[in-house]
Amino acid sequence: MSLDIPVIDFYPFLNGTDEDREKVSLEIEKLSPKGDLKEDFDLAMELPADDKDRIERGAILYGPNFWPDNLHGFRECIYSEFYLKMLSLGKKLFEAFALSLNLPSNYFKSMCQKPMVTMRLLHYPPQTII
């Protein structure tokens, strides 16, 4: 059995602009020939444009998220109350993994300072079967 897996060249999208995540996301969405009826909202860790690591290491997919103006409290709820708490949970899991391997609890800490973790909120509206 052979799988026909499309290859995406991400290099053209990695130019350091705030639109990088959107461009990559749109390119990935093209992989589904049938299309998909859904609404989505993508976000990732927000780092300022002058962040030392973002500049020196070329962490170009970090940056400001684009938040809707007309949803009061949306950013606080999704980013501060959920996304950042999930990052904290992930760091605690890494501590547990380290301890289970008989390593110091902070063994993975330096590898998880600014993780490239994205979150996608999806809503699939009801559809009638045709």
Q: Tokens standing for 42?
A: 């993508």
> Residue 3 domain-assigned?
no
Is 128 within a domain? Answer: no
Task: Work out the average pLDDT over 22-35.
Answer: 63
Using a 10 angstrom Cβ sphere, with 0-12 exposed, 13-18 middle and 19 or more buried, the burial of residue 63 is buried
Residue 69 sits in which domain range?
A: 11-123
- pLDDT band at residue 6, thresholds of 50, 70 and 90? low
Over residues 80-99, the mean pLDDT reads 95
Return the CATH number at 93. 2.60.120.330
Q: What is the pLDDT of residue 45?
A: 86
How far is residue 36 from each of residues 1, 3, 32, 128, measured CA to CA in Å?
26, 21, 8, 14
User: How many structural domains are present in the chain?
Assistant: 1
In a domain, 6, yes or no: no
